[in-house]
Chains A and B, each alone.
Chain A
Amino acid sequence: MMHQKNISIPSIETKNLHYRFSSGQVAVDQIALSVPEGSIYGFLGPNGAGKTTTLRLLLGLLRKQQGEIRFFGTSFHDHRLAVLSRVGTMIETPSVYGHLSARNNLRIWAKIQGSTEGRINEVLELVGLMNSGKKKADAFSLGMKQRLGIAVALLHQPRILILDEPTNGLDPKGIIEIRDLLKRLNQEHRITILISSHILAEVEKLVTHIGVINHGKLLFQGTLAELVSKQSSGVLLETDQNEAAMSILKKQGIICDSQKAFLLLPSLKKEEIAALISLLTHAGISIYRVEPIDKNLESIFMDLIK
């Protein structure tokens, strides 16, 4: 039996999830994922970080070696079929039968899942493939294949969508379309989405929550705001006498880093910056540059995976 809807229970949760390849390399190292219900969870990491392996473990495509996987608070191991009936997936490349049209591809999955011809029309419309006609999927562009893959995942009206790099190989227009589609599915249909990506700018504009993985370890997990707040921003200061400026700032209680030709100050208010400039100028120090540093997600991500 599936658990009743409970807001406090994450849609997806893992504990101590661990996987080692036969070569001995640890691909997933004690990962504790927690994907809140109704969220769009960006699973970020560079290539080879362990994202796809984690997703494949979640779906039972790889045999779990250690740890626990729960969907809606229910053990995946004990209720595999019941869980999968509520999950839509697209792992790595879209699963598309090249010798069949988009509609016939969907009919294959519709027969298995008991979906109607009407639902096939709905998802074709939703992903913009209604006019693909009898064209075989082999002749589709990569973007069309990705959209068909998403249509397959959506066909049985899942509660959770697990998508592995769904915008891979898409042009900017395609990326925007997929992003808008996923936002719409999340907001209008309350589908929880777990999306893996290494395209940081893409994830930044889409997700509510984020998990950063590298070398199989989960380095961060939380909301976007939590991630940004964890990372320091500051003010870059360049003068003709950095050492003298540093000692004046120290007397004011401002500790800063000396970085070759400039100083890195902690985050300050506008008024504080103006007062500091005035102080340094009166001390005879010439100021060449004052620049606030706002770290974007990309630089935060790079710092995390260094």
Chain B
Amino acid sequence: MNFIQVYRSEWLKKNGSMAVWLMLAGAFFVPMINTLLFIFYPERLIPAYDTPTEFWMILFTRSWNSMVVLFLPLGLVLVNSMLCQIEYKNNTWKQIHATPIPYTTIYFAKLSVILVMLVQLFFLFNVGIYASAVIPSFFRTELHVPYYPIPVKQILNENLNYFFVALPMLLLQFMLSMHFRNFVIPLGVGLVMVVLGITAISWEHHYLIPSLYPFLYHLAANQSTTQTFQVFQWASFTSLSFLLLGFLLYRFKPNKG
């Protein structure tokens, strides 16, 4: 069975579901808050005009500040739960598993949809960051449209890094959401991890909390920490572990719907 066909079928399922709206809300929430902030408090944006070459990276980093701590890990928890719950809620696992599709294709097609949604979220978030600098200038005369060069390569690179360190949390949540019929379990584990992450940032074993990786990378990238935690190595190791474990749990689940 063609992987692309199954992927397209999975993509169609998410249309009109809450997961899509959540992704959109997740992408635009922080930029929207920043937009309002700059409209009502233009002095928060004006200093960035002083360094035109740094303008976009200042705004980019400021936007990621809020995203990495709470909204990104929270979004990963919720989107995974919602997408996998589509099958449990509608009692459709039994129908999927009675179609002539290899288990590997089913698992990776669904995972691909979530990964593509994460790419969409990143893309829209960046669009939102741009809009948060432009829109306020239509409302406040002391602000102007920032015609500064956009460091596309640097922004793309940073996005890739954030994407990579977000994978462990995504794969952990995907594993849990695929395995448990009761959505409270993956949701509960995810929320506890997000809250724990916030409080355990200075804990010496913080590498055990995958929801923290984007934040830890953010601190390291902005030289806000002296800790030597190797976030990319840990992200690679935990991603592969959750991917393998998740697939094995799914493949050998005795009751398939």
Contacts and interface: CB of A to CB of B under 8 A. Distances in A.
Interface stretch (B10-18, B45-53, B69-77): B10-18
Contacts of B89: 98
B86 interface: yes
Interface of A: 56, 59-63, 80-82, 84-85, 87, 89-100, 104, 107-109, 111-114, 136, 152
A108 B255 contact: no
Chain B, interface residues (CB within 8 Å), range: 20 to 34
B6 interface: yes
Q: Considering the complex of A and B, which 8 residue pairs feature the smallest CB-CB distances, nearest first?
A: A95-B95, A111-B9, A85-B100, A84-B100, A81-B100, A95-B92, A89-B98, A63-B254
B6 A112 contact: yes
Given A89-B94, A111-B9, 9 more contacts: A61-B94, A61-B257, A81-B100, A89-B95, A95-B90, A96-B90, A104-B15, A108-B9, A112-B5
Contact of B9 (A84, A85, A93, A109): A109
Nearest to B99: A112
B27 to A, nearest CB: 21
A104 B12 contact: yes
A113 B99 contact: yes
A92 B92 contact: no
A85 to B, nearest CB: 4
A61 B5 contact: no
Contact of B102 (A62, A81, A107): A81
A62 B94 CA distance: 10
A84 B13 contact: no
A82 B256 contact: no
A92 B94 contact: yes
B5 A100 contact: no
Contacts of A60: 97-98, 256
Interface string B59-102: 00000000000000000000000000010011110111111111
Contacts of B254: 62-63
Interface string B232-257: 00000000000000000000001111
Contacts of A94: 91
